[in-house]
Amino acid sequence: MPEPPDLRSEALLIEYTTRVARPSQIVFRWRAQEPDYRDGGTGVARVEPPYRARLDLFRDNGETVLSAALVEDELRIPAGLPTELVPPAPLMWAVFGVFRPGAGAAMVNGRITRGTMVLNYDLPNRELVRFQLRDRAVVNVERLERGAVVETVFISDREGETIFPTEATYRNLPGYRELRLTLESIDHVDPFPPDIWYPNQP
């Protein structure tokens, strides 16, 4: 029988191969729902190597619902805009198809079952994040508290040869909150101006 793969080496390889390869602009439709809230519209994501992402959600009338930037593991959200629809950094990266446990994350354990790899990481804030990967691509990510899943991101198949999923769904289980993004287009573009990674600036 072949020897099982070294999980840490395999995880490092997947982290490398799922990095954003070039500046890209992604357009998608979004739909959000909570017990007393329903909304939707058009969204734009801008991503750039090595680890920069900007997410903007708009209603169909052009009104901004959310702007958030993610630089490595730091989330930047302007004051006054809602934060409930923004997952923590490892889950937000998964929305873009990127496997990134983050700086200071330590693998606790893992396993491979029927071709699916499950990796558990302790984060510096003592949270536990569980990644499910198949064919060296992110399938599902969960954040756990006291052994119970509280947030999850599920992503569908990737678009062509890119890392970007055709659909990504974020759920906050205690808040009965869901945000679903459905891909419409991807364009590879020139590098973005540095100020877009600072949505707090006027």
Each residue's pLDDT tens digit, 151-190? 999 998 776 666 789 999 999 999 999 999 999 999 999 9
Provide mean pLDDT across the span 86-91: 94
* Amino acid present at 126: R
| Torsion angle of the four alpha carbons 198, 83, 139, 107, in this order, in degrees rounded to the nearest 10 | 80
45-54 per-position pLDDT tens digit? 999 998 999 9
What is the helix (H) or strand (E) element at residue 9, kind and residue range? helix 7-17
Do the Cβ atoms of 24 and 64 come closer than 8 Å?
no
1 has a pLDDT exceeding 60: no
Nearest to 93 by CA among 71, 77, 109, 111: 71
What is the helix (H) or strand (E) element at residue 91, kind and residue range? helix 89-95
Q: What percent of the chain has pLDDT over 90?
A: 72
Where in the chain are the domains? 7-197
**21-33 per-residue burial string, b: 16 or more CB within 10 A, e: under 16:** eebbbbebebebe
CATH 3.10.50.40 fits 7-197, yes or no: no
